[in-house]
Each structure stands twice: as structure tokens, then as C-alpha cells.
Amino acid sequence: MRKEYDFSNAMPNPYIKKLRKQVAVKIDAPIVDYFKKQASKLGIAYHNLISLYLADCIANKKTATIAWK
């Protein structure tokens, strides 16, 4: 490694808005299975599909409704 590096021509990270945050969420098994099947059909990872679905909920300003039986 060098003792010093020259960052005078450095650029900001163009992907800064795309950074992800790792979280731990407990999701019921049937829900995970559903997303895994859908993701398999689409050829993407299921966790990416869940992320895309949640992003769509935000974009369309969907609100959660809870109906207890």
C-alpha cells in the first residue's frame, strides 16, 4: 500500500442514492414462499422482489390496512 493517495481527481459516488441498508425482519413462511416463487418466475432474487414491491407501495402511497378476524 502507498503511504499517501491522491484524491484530487476523485468523484462522488454516483450510486449513493442506491445504497441499501441491511435489516432483520421476521416474515411468515408462506409469504416468503410466495415471493420466492414469483421471483423464480421473473428470474430475480426474492429479496430484490420484496424490495421492489415495497418501493412500489411507497411510490403509489399505499397505506396498510389491518382487519383482525
Residue 16 falls inside a structural domain = no
Q: How far apart are CA 30 and CA 32, in angstroms?
A: 5
Q: What is the pLDDT of residue 62?
A: 94
Residue 55 falls inside a structural domain = yes
Residue 28 falls inside a structural domain = yes
Residue 52 falls inside a structural domain = yes
Residue 49 falls inside a structural domain = yes
Domain count, the chain: 1
- Residues 6+ away with beta carbon under 8 Å from 51: 20
| pTM score above 0.75 | no
pLDDT in tens, the chain (69 residues): 788 899 999 998 887 777 888 899 999 999 999 999 999 999 999 999 999 999 999 999 999 898 887
Range(s) of the domain holding residue 48: 24-59
